[in-house]
């Protein structure tokens, strides 16, 4: 048993080695460093709500994650996911707000939860309930490889999910097994939404938030968004970059939460680059799904 446990990947360095992204990673890093050089700080005070999301905080990412949050807390007011969503819904936005979430439910989300908790920040963890408490190593390995392009990484169990809640974090749905929504039958997706919400509610109490796997508009559809809202979720998040601005209440069943993906190892200038870009581009049309008949 102990031997099997050690097969799980515990550092982000090992993940990068597995993904073989050494050179591409370096190029991206260099480009972002050059782009972010002229504007190291976020000076823009435009009232807005922005969402950052991560997938993991491995052992070798803990310090940089903490530093990232410390730097951002000087430029933003951190709010819980529900508060952030509510500000987007109502348009009652009086200053820059930021919310943090994490997708996929790796066990090292507990580390993210602890660091956030230490800083008094409430995050939201989007889980695939079909994988929570999964212990079959081969199954985990296959899932990580096929669905996430990751080496085997352990998943949270339900006791650990409860710990996250005790630390003040929220739990959201991310489908049962992280299947791409586009391409599935809508009947199958509706069943998934119902079941995954039921399971999370059973262990965690009522859940209000959903994020769809892979997160691009091309991974989802108008019909799928309608199913999410019909199944009882109040909010639906993408992984499309963006920034929420506006002053009037929105039609809740049209709202798409936009989130910026960040890696905890990034220098803060890279994070600020994306945040700044989105502030400049932000407009009311960015609050809703781009599907014409929703
Ligand atoms: Zn995901």
DSSP 112: H
- Give domain status of residue 18, yes or no: no
Tell me the CA–centroid distance for residue 236 and ligand 1, in Å: 13
**Chain segment 53-77, per-residue pLDDT in tens:** 999 999 999 999 999 999 999 999 9
The verdict on residue 12 lying in a domain is no
Please give the C-alpha separations between residue 16 and each of 10, 20, 214, in angstroms, as whole numbers: 12, 6, 19
Look at residue 15 and tell me if it is in a domain.
no
What is the distance between the alpha carbons of residues 225 and 235, in angstroms, rounded to a whole number?
A: 10
Distance of CA 93 to the CA centre of its chain: 21
Residue 151 included in any domain: yes
Quick check: is 205 in a domain?
yes
The pLDDT of residue 3 is 47
Domain CATH code at residue 178: 3.20.20.370
**Confidence band (pLDDT; 50, 70, 90) for 39?**
low
pLDDT tier at 38 (50, 70, 90 boundaries)?
A: low
For helices 268-281 and 62-72, the axis angle rounded to 10 degrees is 40
- Asked whether residue 292 is assigned to any structural domain, the reply reads no
Q: Output the CA 178–ligand 1 centroid distance in Å.
A: 6
Position 9 in a domain: no
In a domain, 23, yes or no: no
What is the number of structural domains in the chain? Answer: 1
Residue range 258-276, pLDDT digits in tens: 999 999 999 999 999 999 9
Query: Ligand 1 centre from 53 Cα, in Å?
Result: 10
pTM for the full predicted model: 0.95
Q: How far is the CA of 194 from the centre of ligand 1 (A)?
A: 18
Query: Which position has the token pair 């903490």?
Result: 66
Structural domain span for residue 266: 42-287
């Amino acid at each position: 048993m102990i031997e099997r446990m050690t097969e799980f990947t515990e550092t982000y360095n090992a993940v990068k080695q597995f993904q073989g992204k050494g050179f591409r990673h370096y190029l991206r890093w260099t480009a972002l460093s050059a782009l972010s050089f002229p504007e190291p700080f976020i000076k823009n005070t435009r009232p807005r709500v922005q969402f950052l999301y991560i997938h993991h905080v491995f052992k070798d990412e803990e310090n940089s994650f903490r530093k990232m949050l410390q730097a951002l807390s000087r430029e933003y007011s951190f709010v819980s996911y529900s508060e952030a969503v509510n500000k987007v819904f109502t348009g009652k936005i009086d200053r820059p707000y930021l919310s943090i979430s994490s997708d996929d439910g790796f066990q090292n989300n507990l580390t993210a939860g602890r660091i956030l908790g230490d800083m008094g920040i409430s995050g939201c963890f989007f889980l695939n309930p079909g994988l929570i408490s999964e212990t079959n190593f081969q199954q985990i390995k296959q899932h990580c490889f096929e669905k996430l392009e990751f080496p085997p990484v352990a998943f949270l169990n339900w006791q650990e999910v409860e710990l996250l809640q005790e630390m003040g974090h929220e739990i959201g749905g991310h489908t049962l097994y992280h299947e791409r929504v586009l391409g599935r039958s809508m009947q199958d997706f509706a069943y998934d939404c119902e079941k995954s919400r039921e399971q999370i509610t059973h262990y965690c109490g009522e859940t209000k938030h959903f994020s769809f796997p892979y997160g691009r508009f091309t991974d989802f559809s108008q019909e799928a968004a309608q199913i999410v809202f019909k199944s009882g979720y109040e909010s639906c998040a993408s992984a499309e970059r963006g920034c929420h601005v506006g002053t009037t209440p929105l039609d809740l069943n049209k709202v798409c939460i936009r989130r910026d993906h960040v890696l905890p190892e990034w220098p803060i200038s890279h994070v600020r680059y994306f945040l700044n870009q989105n502030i400049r581009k932000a407009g009311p049309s960015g609050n809703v799904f781009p599907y014409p008949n929703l």
